[in-house]
């Protein structure tokens, strides 16, 4: 399946960043939040960040205008029912994510791939809220999404091979570098980072100055 239209659910820090990545890569994108108003705020944030790219000479105003034409906003998932790919980026709450995936499953066309940007929640658990667990996958972007290159692609237990390949290929089409992760607690990057943060705190508790821990991190 060729991905042409993407719906991003959640217009917060990650969702608006992901929607920006999608329009910069040329995809028709719908940004959805709980109300039109919140979704519009997301579009305003994107417009602001793209204008800064114009000021820095990274994009022309004509390019930005063309990108913004590809972006619509809404307070209803139904407006994105014909999307080929949904990327969910609402708060990190399992019950919220399960209820949104249940609704997306009911609303979206049968072929739509449902991806989640969760940092920690099992993809298999989220997929179980739908009747299409074979089409559910993790696509974990990092903050700020427009500049961070990595996307962890995380298949659930039942994700099919075609969906894995599409998620991998679309990550590249979005200008990112994918890494295939297992559906294990905190995937790859946070699994590595969190112990390092803990050790940094232990060092400070044991008397090392925070600035020295920071400098030591650059090793």
Ligand X SMILES: NC(=O)c1ccc[n+]([C@@H]2O[C@H](COP(=O)([O-])OP(=O)(O)OC[C@H]3O[C@@H](n4cnc5c(N)ncnc54)[C@H](O)[C@@H]3O)[C@@H](O)[C@H]2O)c1
Active site residues: 119, 140, 152, 190
89 binds ligand X (CB under 6 A): yes
20 binds ligand X (CB under 6 A): no
Residue from 47, 72, 119, 122 in contact with ligand X (CB under 6 A): 119
Stretch that binds ligand X, among 28-36, 56-64, 122-130, 209-217 (CB under 6 A): 28-36
Question: C-beta of 161: minimal distance to ligand X in Å?
Answer: 25
Residue from 118, 130, 159, 171 in contact with ligand X (CB under 6 A): 118
Residue owning tokens 């997929």? 127
Local structure of residue 176 (DSSP, 8 states): -
Question: C-beta of 64: minimal distance to ligand X in Å?
Answer: 23
| Number of residues lying near ligand X (CB under 6 A) | 22
Question: C-beta of 122: minimal distance to ligand X in Å?
Answer: 13
10 binds ligand X (CB under 6 A): yes
123 binds ligand X (CB under 6 A): no
204 binds ligand X (CB under 6 A): no
Task: Dig out the tokens for 76 from the structure.
Answer: 């209803």
Q: Is the dihedral of CA 151, 10, 119, 206 positive or negative?
A: positive
Nearest of 133, 140, 131 to residue 184 by alpha carbon: 140
Between CA 187 and CA 49, with CA 104 as vertex, the angle to 5 degrees is 65
Task: Dig out the tokens for 145 from the structure.
Answer: 């999404």
91 binds ligand X (CB under 6 A): yes
142 binds ligand X (CB under 6 A): yes
Contact 173, 25 (CB under 8 A): yes
Question: C-beta of 26: minimal distance to ligand X in Å?
Answer: 23
* CA distances, 109 to each of 29, 103, 118, 217 (Å): 16, 12, 23, 47
Choose between 168 and 187: whose C-beta lies nearer to ligand X: 187
Instruction: Lay out the sheet containing 177-180: strands in order across.
Output: 71-74, 28-32, 5-9, 85-88, 113-116, 136-141, 150-155, 177-180
Stretch that binds ligand X, among 6-14, 106-114, 162-170, 174-182 (CB under 6 A): 6-14
Q: Are strands 113-116 and 28-32 parallel, antiparallel or unpaired?
A: unpaired
Site residues (CB under 6 A) for ligand X? 9-15, 32-34, 38, 89-92, 96, 100, 117-119, 142-143
């Amino acid at each position: 399946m060729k991905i042409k239209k993407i719906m991003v659910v959640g217009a917060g820090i990650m969702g608006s960043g992901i929607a920006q990545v999608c329009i910069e890569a040329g995809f028709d994108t719908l940004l959805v939040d709980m109300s039109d108003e919140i979704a519009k705020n997301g579009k305003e944030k994107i417009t602001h960040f793209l204008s800064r790219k114009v000021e820095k000479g990274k994009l022309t105003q004509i390019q930005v205008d063309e990108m913004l034409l590809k972006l619509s906003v809404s307070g209803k998932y139904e407006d994105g029912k014909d999307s080929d790919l949904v990327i969910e980026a609402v708060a990190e709450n399992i019950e919220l994510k399960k209820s949104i995936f249940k609704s997306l499953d009911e609303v979206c066309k049968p072929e739509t791939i449902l991806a989640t940007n969760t940092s920690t929640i099992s993809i298999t658990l989220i997929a179980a809220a739908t009747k299409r667990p074979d089409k559910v996958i993790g696509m974990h972007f990092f903050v700020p999404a427009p500049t961070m290159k990595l996307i962890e692609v995380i298949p659930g237990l039942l994700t099919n091979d075609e969906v894995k390949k599409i998620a991998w290929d679309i990550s590249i089409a979005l200008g990112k570098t994918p890494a295939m992760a297992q559906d294990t607690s905190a995937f790859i990057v946070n699994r590595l980072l969190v112990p390092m943060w803990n050790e940094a705190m232990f060092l400070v508790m044991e008397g090392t100055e925070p600035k020295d821990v920071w400098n030591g991190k650059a090793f």
